[in-house]
Structure 1
């Protein structure tokens, strides 16, 4: 078992798209102001024309985070025309009224429209129903060439929209997505949040996603810049209206239906302000979609559990058991696998500004994610799967 785990980690280290690296970021623009602020680092040229953009923000009961996120969108320093459409998805906490008040408090910012589509029709998830309504408003009121789909808990640096459009325009990309930097403040966030992004990158290596010839496709739903004509071509979001994991499903549709040119990377200027102070909130966030990622297949669930045990739990178990019983071959193989596992996690911890020693806790974190995945399957078979903010989807 120790040798099998070591062989698996050798393959992951070298053959899984270098998933553990954290240098897949948007290149810096070469505009004079940015070049000076970055010490003259090389980057890409800016587009000759800045296309109009519509920013669509689905929001359901987001009054707690809007004061830290929405003003950052209204304050975007974008050279072209841009407008924000916040879609209030049946909120009961005054989300829509708060959004209007925040816009009134930021005169001179991007124009804001707040509207509500009512309850979703059968067969639609609430978020995609809200996105559909926001995209329809954008079509009616603007001639936007790009749509920025961003969650209500995401705060953007002032140049975020400019950077996204510049990358899409100069790179000929149909979809540009950034994995927002999630909040890491509480103890549970330190234990679980960096690993969430680490596991996502292991499932969907960014370098493979960004290779047009590769089949791997993924996006991060908190920040997705989508060409409008690609959305029309793929009938988005109508064609994916039942998707619980809507961002990955959207990316697959765009990549397979067009040129294959999409991009996904880690963010420098896009961050989530949503707090996850306790284990319960993080557990629900993962469990609501984990079984959907496994296509609701018991066989795939069994294989996933076995894989998680082999990859993350066997190395420390065999290293410690081998040392305790004098089986030094098992201890060496298990220890080597644990060392590779730990080393691949350190770059993500550095990205989140966490101490490297936390990499030693990755087996414990993986065990928690294993339990979340099993719980996701249990809740699904009890008819409570994919439950989020008062809604449960079949």
Structure 2
């Protein structure tokens, strides 16, 4: 209604202190504003909605190109880290030379080249996803060769190997520093090199820290290497390639998987308590087959005429792993093995048998826990 004339000013002036006190009391009861994105010391950002600092990662498969469209499925799945894996080449398990290949060509994909690693890091960073650089060694000499086979026959050869490996790794330490990658893994499953060579690794770690100033880990094999390493105190994370066997039969129930995790959990906790470092699963994954929990490290038989797919077993393996570890305060996160950029739901049948969770119930489990 209209008001005629001018009201005196003194009543509002007397009420002003009361109103200010009331407003201050009410403001103090309001919930805090949501956090802003936290900058990484190496340039990436953590999405503001994350409830903790666990690494929600996948192992990124290098390809001959990458685009921003390849990053969006990661964002939808709650992924906040990728591990990129360039390869060095070793002619044989007892050959004390690691060959460094930094460019794309017939020995590797563009995504494994320095240029590709940098471009992928930048694409991921634009969407708030951080990068761990995780160099591997490809051992020639047979389809069954792996880094755990590397073993020199003389002390002189070991010294030559460590000198060569140091050149290899320090190149990637420098690349990680200049491109502001967010973590560096200094080795993967080099079980003969890691056990009994503590001095050499401590020297290498010191050299790496002079070049790269982000957090460091090492990716130790599940079968016992992670318990034998004596230089965890010099690193930031205890890294484990967590392919622990969880069943002796196909189609295991989740109760079986949860029970099977108890013994590896005790072993991991013992190492964690000794070194007081957070634990990171640098790799963990399960293929999409009924026997996924029997030998989780083994690839499916691609030569078989018919191979049964089993998305249910893969899903249960994911559930048991997350339920066992994710809430533990010393557990730092996971890098799921593995993630193909651009993989379509109707894509390669081979890839739908292997370790990727993409377009499967396992991806929904991962997204659920990564979204917590």
Tell me which interval the TM-score lies in, with the shorter structure as reference length.
Answer: under 0.3
Structure number with bigger Rg = 2
Higher RCO (C-alpha under 8 Å, 6+ residues apart): 1
TM-score normalized with structure 2 length: 0.26
The structure that is helix-richer by fraction is 1
